[in-house]
Amino acid sequence: MARRKKGDKVDGWLVVDKPTGPSSANIVAIVKRCFNAQKVGHGGTLDPLATGILPIGLGEATKTMPYIVDATKEYEFTVKWGEDTDSDDCEGKFIHTGGKIPTDDQIQGVLSGFIGLIDQVPPAYSAIKVDGQRAYALARQGEEVALKSRIVEIQSLNMVSSSKEVGSSDFHVVCGKGTYVRSLGRDIALKLGTYGHITALRRTRVGPFGLEGAISLEMLEDMSHSARAAGLLQPVTTALDDIPALAVTAPEAADIQMGRSIQNPKAKQGTCVLMNGTQPVAIAEAEADFIRPLRVFNM
Protein backbone atom coordinates (compact mmCIF):
# COMPACT_ATOMS: atom_id res chain seq x y z
CA MET A 1 0.00 0.00 0.00
CA ALA A 2 1.41 3.40 -1.06
CA ARG A 3 2.30 5.78 1.75
CA ARG A 4 0.01 8.81 1.89
CA LYS A 5 1.87 12.06 1.20
CA LYS A 6 1.92 14.66 3.93
CA GLY A 7 0.14 17.93 3.24
CA ASP A 8 -2.44 19.06 0.69
CA LYS A 9 -2.30 18.71 -3.08
CA VAL A 10 -1.78 22.29 -4.26
CA ASP A 11 -0.89 23.10 -7.88
CA GLY A 12 0.27 26.40 -9.35
CA TRP A 13 2.91 29.11 -9.36
CA LEU A 14 3.52 31.69 -6.66
CA VAL A 15 5.83 34.62 -7.44
CA VAL A 16 7.54 36.02 -4.34
CA ASP A 17 9.39 39.34 -4.20
CA LYS A 18 12.25 38.08 -2.05
CA PRO A 19 13.80 40.53 0.42
CA THR A 20 17.46 40.69 1.38
CA GLY A 21 18.39 38.13 4.01
CA PRO A 22 16.53 34.83 3.62
CA SER A 23 17.81 32.18 1.24
CA SER A 24 15.71 30.71 -1.57
CA ALA A 25 15.34 27.55 0.53
CA ASN A 26 13.98 29.65 3.43
CA ILE A 27 11.30 31.08 1.12
CA VAL A 28 10.35 27.61 -0.12
CA ALA A 29 9.91 26.45 3.50
CA ILE A 30 7.64 29.43 4.27
CA VAL A 31 5.50 28.77 1.16
CA LYS A 32 5.22 25.08 1.97
CA ARG A 33 4.08 25.88 5.50
CA CYS A 34 1.63 28.56 4.38
CA PHE A 35 -0.06 26.29 1.82
CA ASN A 36 0.48 23.03 3.73
CA ALA A 37 1.61 21.81 0.31
CA GLN A 38 2.90 18.33 -0.50
CA LYS A 39 5.52 19.47 -3.00
CA VAL A 40 7.25 22.85 -3.45
CA GLY A 41 10.35 24.02 -5.34
CA HIS A 42 11.88 27.26 -6.61
CA GLY A 43 12.71 28.25 -10.18
CA GLY A 44 16.23 29.65 -9.96
CA THR A 45 18.21 30.42 -6.82
CA LEU A 46 18.66 33.96 -5.50
CA ASP A 47 21.55 34.70 -3.14
CA PRO A 48 20.58 35.93 0.35
CA LEU A 49 21.95 39.36 -0.66
CA ALA A 50 19.70 39.52 -3.73
CA THR A 51 16.09 40.67 -3.85
CA GLY A 52 13.31 40.29 -6.38
CA ILE A 53 11.53 37.64 -8.39
CA LEU A 54 11.62 34.10 -7.00
CA PRO A 55 9.09 31.85 -8.78
CA ILE A 56 7.84 29.07 -6.51
CA GLY A 57 6.28 25.99 -8.10
CA LEU A 58 3.74 23.96 -6.12
CA GLY A 59 2.59 20.45 -6.96
CA GLU A 60 2.22 19.85 -10.69
CA ALA A 61 3.92 23.18 -11.44
CA THR A 62 7.23 21.62 -10.40
CA LYS A 63 7.03 19.54 -13.61
CA THR A 64 7.39 22.78 -15.60
CA MET A 65 10.38 23.97 -13.55
CA PRO A 66 13.02 23.35 -16.28
CA TYR A 67 11.29 25.90 -18.52
CA ILE A 68 11.61 28.56 -15.82
CA VAL A 69 15.21 27.69 -14.95
CA ASP A 70 16.08 28.06 -18.67
CA ALA A 71 14.08 31.28 -19.13
CA THR A 72 15.48 34.73 -19.86
CA LYS A 73 16.05 36.81 -16.73
CA GLU A 74 16.37 40.53 -15.99
CA TYR A 75 18.37 42.13 -13.19
CA GLU A 76 19.15 45.55 -11.80
CA PHE A 77 22.52 45.74 -10.06
CA THR A 78 25.02 48.17 -8.58
CA VAL A 79 28.80 47.93 -8.92
CA LYS A 80 31.07 49.64 -6.37
CA TRP A 81 34.29 50.57 -8.16
CA GLY A 82 37.84 50.42 -6.85
CA GLU A 83 37.38 47.45 -4.49
CA ASP A 84 36.90 43.74 -4.97
CA THR A 85 36.04 40.89 -2.60
CA ASP A 86 36.49 37.12 -2.52
CA SER A 87 32.75 36.65 -3.09
CA ASP A 88 32.38 39.38 -5.78
CA ASP A 89 29.73 41.04 -3.59
CA CYS A 90 29.63 43.12 -0.43
CA GLU A 91 29.35 40.09 1.86
CA GLY A 92 32.88 38.89 1.15
CA LYS A 93 36.32 39.88 2.42
CA PHE A 94 38.16 42.65 0.61
CA ILE A 95 41.03 41.54 -1.61
CA HIS A 96 42.00 44.85 -3.22
CA THR A 97 41.11 48.46 -2.47
CA GLY A 98 42.21 51.81 -3.84
CA GLY A 99 41.46 51.08 -7.47
CA LYS A 100 40.47 53.87 -9.85
CA ILE A 101 36.88 55.06 -10.30
CA PRO A 102 36.02 54.95 -14.03
CA THR A 103 34.17 57.74 -15.80
CA ASP A 104 30.75 57.20 -17.36
CA ASP A 105 32.28 57.43 -20.83
CA GLN A 106 34.84 54.77 -19.97
CA ILE A 107 32.11 52.48 -18.64
CA GLN A 108 29.91 53.00 -21.70
CA GLY A 109 32.91 52.24 -23.90
CA VAL A 110 33.33 48.67 -22.65
CA LEU A 111 29.71 47.50 -22.28
CA SER A 112 29.30 46.42 -25.91
CA GLY A 113 32.05 43.85 -25.35
CA PHE A 114 29.78 42.05 -22.92
CA ILE A 115 26.82 41.67 -25.30
CA GLY A 116 26.12 38.30 -26.94
CA LEU A 117 27.74 34.97 -26.08
CA ILE A 118 30.60 35.56 -23.64
CA ASP A 119 33.00 33.49 -21.53
CA GLN A 120 32.33 33.84 -17.83
CA VAL A 121 34.02 32.32 -14.79
CA PRO A 122 31.49 31.81 -11.95
CA PRO A 123 32.26 33.29 -8.51
CA ALA A 124 34.20 31.09 -6.10
CA TYR A 125 31.25 31.46 -3.74
CA SER A 126 28.72 29.69 -5.97
CA ALA A 127 26.71 26.47 -5.78
CA ILE A 128 28.67 24.78 -8.57
CA LYS A 129 30.04 21.39 -7.53
CA VAL A 130 33.80 20.75 -7.51
CA ASP A 131 34.77 17.12 -6.89
CA GLY A 132 31.35 16.52 -5.38
CA GLN A 133 31.37 19.55 -3.07
CA ARG A 134 29.78 22.96 -3.47
CA ALA A 135 32.29 25.63 -4.47
CA TYR A 136 31.13 27.97 -1.71
CA ALA A 137 31.74 25.28 0.93
CA LEU A 138 35.31 24.81 -0.27
CA ALA A 139 35.88 28.59 -0.42
CA ARG A 140 34.65 28.98 3.16
CA GLN A 141 37.14 26.34 4.26
CA GLY A 142 39.91 28.50 2.83
CA GLU A 143 40.56 26.27 -0.17
CA GLU A 144 41.41 27.83 -3.49
CA VAL A 145 38.57 27.20 -5.92
CA ALA A 146 39.37 27.19 -9.65
CA LEU A 147 36.15 27.10 -11.65
CA LYS A 148 36.06 26.61 -15.40
CA SER A 149 34.70 29.34 -17.63
CA ARG A 150 31.37 28.79 -19.35
CA ILE A 151 29.50 30.40 -22.21
CA VAL A 152 26.56 32.58 -21.17
CA GLU A 153 24.35 34.94 -23.16
CA ILE A 154 23.91 38.64 -22.42
CA GLN A 155 21.05 40.01 -24.49
CA SER A 156 21.31 43.61 -23.33
CA LEU A 157 23.39 45.56 -20.81
CA ASN A 158 22.88 49.22 -19.98
CA MET A 159 24.23 51.66 -17.43
CA VAL A 160 21.28 53.40 -15.78
CA SER A 161 23.03 55.91 -13.50
CA SER A 162 26.24 56.66 -11.60
CA SER A 163 27.15 58.20 -8.24
CA LYS A 164 30.54 59.94 -8.21
CA GLU A 165 30.25 60.52 -4.45
CA VAL A 166 29.83 56.81 -3.70
CA GLY A 167 31.94 55.62 -6.62
CA SER A 168 29.31 53.26 -7.97
CA SER A 169 27.16 52.68 -11.06
CA ASP A 170 23.74 51.11 -11.59
CA PHE A 171 23.02 48.71 -14.45
CA HIS A 172 20.19 46.76 -16.08
CA VAL A 173 20.88 43.42 -17.78
CA VAL A 174 18.81 40.90 -19.72
CA CYS A 175 20.56 37.54 -19.76
CA GLY A 176 20.20 33.83 -20.38
CA LYS A 177 20.50 30.73 -18.24
CA GLY A 178 23.51 30.33 -15.97
CA THR A 179 24.65 33.97 -15.97
CA TYR A 180 26.25 35.19 -12.74
CA VAL A 181 25.68 38.91 -12.28
CA ARG A 182 28.40 39.00 -9.62
CA SER A 183 30.88 37.76 -12.24
CA LEU A 184 29.57 40.28 -14.75
CA GLY A 185 30.18 43.19 -12.37
CA ARG A 186 33.66 41.87 -11.55
CA ASP A 187 34.57 41.45 -15.23
CA ILE A 188 33.33 44.89 -16.26
CA ALA A 189 35.63 46.37 -13.61
CA LEU A 190 38.60 44.29 -14.75
CA LYS A 191 37.99 45.39 -18.35
CA LEU A 192 38.19 48.98 -17.10
CA GLY A 193 41.51 48.28 -15.40
CA THR A 194 40.14 48.48 -11.88
CA TYR A 195 38.33 46.43 -9.25
CA GLY A 196 34.63 46.13 -8.54
CA HIS A 197 32.03 44.19 -6.64
CA ILE A 198 28.23 44.01 -6.46
CA THR A 199 26.59 45.96 -3.63
CA ALA A 200 22.95 45.53 -4.71
CA LEU A 201 21.23 42.95 -6.90
CA ARG A 202 17.54 42.76 -7.78
CA ARG A 203 15.91 40.28 -10.19
CA THR A 204 12.99 41.96 -11.92
CA ARG A 205 11.85 39.22 -14.32
CA VAL A 206 12.11 35.46 -14.85
CA GLY A 207 10.49 34.38 -18.11
CA PRO A 208 6.76 35.23 -17.84
CA PHE A 209 7.02 36.25 -14.17
CA GLY A 210 7.56 39.92 -13.33
CA LEU A 211 7.27 42.23 -10.35
CA GLU A 212 3.72 43.14 -11.35
CA GLY A 213 2.52 39.68 -10.29
CA ALA A 214 4.75 39.22 -7.25
CA ILE A 215 3.81 39.31 -3.57
CA SER A 216 5.96 40.37 -0.65
CA LEU A 217 7.16 37.96 1.99
CA GLU A 218 5.19 39.96 4.58
CA MET A 219 1.97 39.44 2.62
CA LEU A 220 2.67 35.72 2.32
CA GLU A 221 3.37 35.32 6.02
CA ASP A 222 0.18 37.25 6.86
CA MET A 223 -1.84 34.53 5.15
CA SER A 224 -3.09 32.51 8.10
CA HIS A 225 -4.28 29.51 6.09
CA SER A 226 -3.93 27.99 2.63
CA ALA A 227 -7.49 28.87 1.55
CA ARG A 228 -6.62 32.60 1.58
CA ALA A 229 -3.24 32.05 -0.02
CA ALA A 230 -4.70 29.92 -2.85
CA GLY A 231 -6.07 33.04 -4.52
CA LEU A 232 -2.49 34.20 -5.12
CA LEU A 233 -1.56 31.22 -7.27
CA GLN A 234 -1.00 31.48 -11.02
CA PRO A 235 -1.87 28.53 -13.32
CA VAL A 236 0.55 25.65 -13.81
CA THR A 237 0.74 26.49 -17.53
CA THR A 238 2.01 30.05 -16.91
CA ALA A 239 5.56 28.71 -17.17
CA LEU A 240 4.72 27.29 -20.61
CA ASP A 241 3.44 30.47 -22.27
CA ASP A 242 6.04 30.22 -25.05
CA ILE A 243 5.14 26.63 -25.93
CA PRO A 244 2.32 25.98 -28.48
CA ALA A 245 -0.86 24.50 -27.04
CA LEU A 246 -2.69 21.64 -28.75
CA ALA A 247 -6.27 20.62 -27.95
CA VAL A 248 -6.98 16.95 -27.34
CA THR A 249 -10.23 15.07 -26.76
CA ALA A 250 -11.12 13.36 -23.50
CA PRO A 251 -10.28 9.88 -24.90
CA GLU A 252 -6.94 11.18 -26.21
CA ALA A 253 -6.23 12.78 -22.83
CA ALA A 254 -6.92 9.45 -21.13
CA ASP A 255 -4.43 7.69 -23.41
CA ILE A 256 -1.78 10.37 -22.80
CA GLN A 257 -2.24 10.13 -19.04
CA MET A 258 -1.62 6.39 -19.30
CA GLY A 259 1.69 7.16 -21.02
CA ARG A 260 0.50 6.19 -24.50
CA SER A 261 1.23 8.10 -27.70
CA ILE A 262 -1.62 9.39 -29.83
CA GLN A 263 -1.82 9.98 -33.56
CA ASN A 264 -2.29 13.50 -34.90
CA PRO A 265 -0.84 14.19 -38.39
CA LYS A 266 -1.76 17.89 -38.19
CA ALA A 267 0.26 18.65 -35.07
CA LYS A 268 3.17 21.07 -35.44
CA GLN A 269 6.45 19.23 -34.87
CA GLY A 270 8.24 19.85 -31.59
CA THR A 271 7.28 20.41 -27.96
CA CYS A 272 3.69 21.32 -27.15
CA VAL A 273 1.26 21.55 -24.24
CA LEU A 274 -1.74 19.27 -24.55
CA MET A 275 -4.98 20.78 -23.29
CA ASN A 276 -8.38 19.17 -22.75
CA GLY A 277 -10.52 22.29 -22.56
CA THR A 278 -8.90 24.45 -19.87
CA GLN A 279 -7.22 21.47 -18.21
CA PRO A 280 -3.51 20.85 -18.94
CA VAL A 281 -2.89 17.19 -19.78
CA ALA A 282 0.82 16.94 -20.52
CA ILE A 283 3.95 18.42 -21.98
CA ALA A 284 4.46 16.38 -25.12
CA GLU A 285 6.62 15.97 -28.21
CA ALA A 286 5.12 15.82 -31.72
CA GLU A 287 7.18 13.63 -34.05
CA ALA A 288 6.04 12.60 -37.52
CA ASP A 289 2.33 11.74 -37.10
CA PHE A 290 2.51 10.90 -33.40
CA ILE A 291 2.49 12.79 -30.11
CA ARG A 292 4.23 11.20 -27.15
CA PRO A 293 3.95 12.47 -23.56
CA LEU A 294 7.06 13.84 -21.83
CA ARG A 295 5.58 14.99 -18.51
CA VAL A 296 1.99 14.12 -17.61
CA PHE A 297 -0.02 16.36 -15.29
CA ASN A 298 -2.16 14.77 -12.60
CA MET A 299 -4.63 17.55 -12.00
State pLDDT tens for residues 154-197. 999 999 999 999 999 999 999 999 999 999 999 999 999 999 99
The whole-angstrom separation of Cα 153 and Cα 120 is 10
Radius of gyration of the chain measured on its C-alpha atoms: 22
User: For residue 296, what are the β-bridge partners?
Assistant: 282
More confident residue, 1 or 226: 226
Architecture of domain 12-70+208-238 in CATH? Answer: 2-Layer Sandwich (3.30)
Which of 11, 17, 47, 88 is flagged as catalytic?
A: 47
User: Given this model, what pLDDT does residue 74 score?
Assistant: 98
Residues 68-125 pLDDT 10s: 999 999 999 999 999 999 889 998 899 999 999 999 999 999 999 999 999 999 887 6
Q: What integer best gives the mean pLDDT of the chain?
A: 90
Looking at the domain 243-296, which fold is it? 2.30.130
Identify which of 164, 157, 206 has the alpha carbon closest to the alpha carbon of residue 183. Answer: 157
User: Given this model, what pLDDT does residue 15 score?
Assistant: 96
User: Given this model, what pLDDT does residue 107 score?
Assistant: 98
Average pLDDT score over residue span 15-26 = 93
CA atoms within 13 A on the CB side of 22: 17
More confident residue, 264 or 256: 256
* Contact in structure between 293 and 256 (CB atoms under 8 Å): yes
Cβ neighbours, 10 Å, residue 6:
8
Identify which of 196, 203, 202, 179 has the alpha carbon closest to the alpha carbon of residue 89. Answer: 196
What class has domain 73-202? alpha beta
* Contact in structure between 126 and 88 (CB atoms under 8 Å): no
More confident residue, 6 or 277: 277
Burial classification of residue 278, based on how many CB atoms lie within 10 Å of its CB (0-12 exposed, 13-18 middle, 19 or more buried): exposed
User: Given this model, what pLDDT does residue 1 score?
Assistant: 47
Burial classification of residue 72, based on how many CB atoms lie within 10 Å of its CB (0-12 exposed, 13-18 middle, 19 or more buried): middle
Mark whether 47 is an active-site residue.
yes
Amino acid at 194: T
Cβ neighbours, 10 Å, residue 100:
14
The whole-angstrom separation of Cα 209 and Cα 31 is 17
The reply to whether domains 73-202 and 243-296 share a CATH topology is no
User: Given this model, what pLDDT does residue 285 score?
Assistant: 96
| Residue 36 backbone dihedrals phi, psi, to 5 degrees | 50, 40
Q: What is the pTM of this model?
A: 0.91
In the chain, where are the structural domains located?
12-70+208-238, 73-202, 243-296
| pLDDT over threshold 80, residue 284 | yes
Residues 45-59 pLDDT 10s: 888 889 999 999 999
Identify which of 17, 3, 67, 63 has the alpha carbon closest to the alpha carbon of residue 39. Answer: 63
User: Given this model, what pLDDT does residue 72 score?
Assistant: 96
> What is the secondary structure of the chain as a DSSP string?
-PPPPSSB---EEEEEEEPSSS-HHHHHHHHHHHHTBS-EEESS---TT-EEEEEEEEGGGGGGHHHHHTS-EEEEEEEEET-EETTSBTTS-EEE-------HHHHHHHHGGGSEEEEEPPPSSSS-EETTEEHHHHHHTT----PPPEEEEEEEEEEEEEETTTTEEEEEEEE-TT--HHHHHHHHHHHTTS-EEEEEEEEEEETTEEGGG-EEHHHHHH--SHHHHGGGPBPGGGGGTTSPEEE--HHHHHHHHTT--EE-TTSPSEEEEEEETTEEEEEEEEETTEEEEEEE---
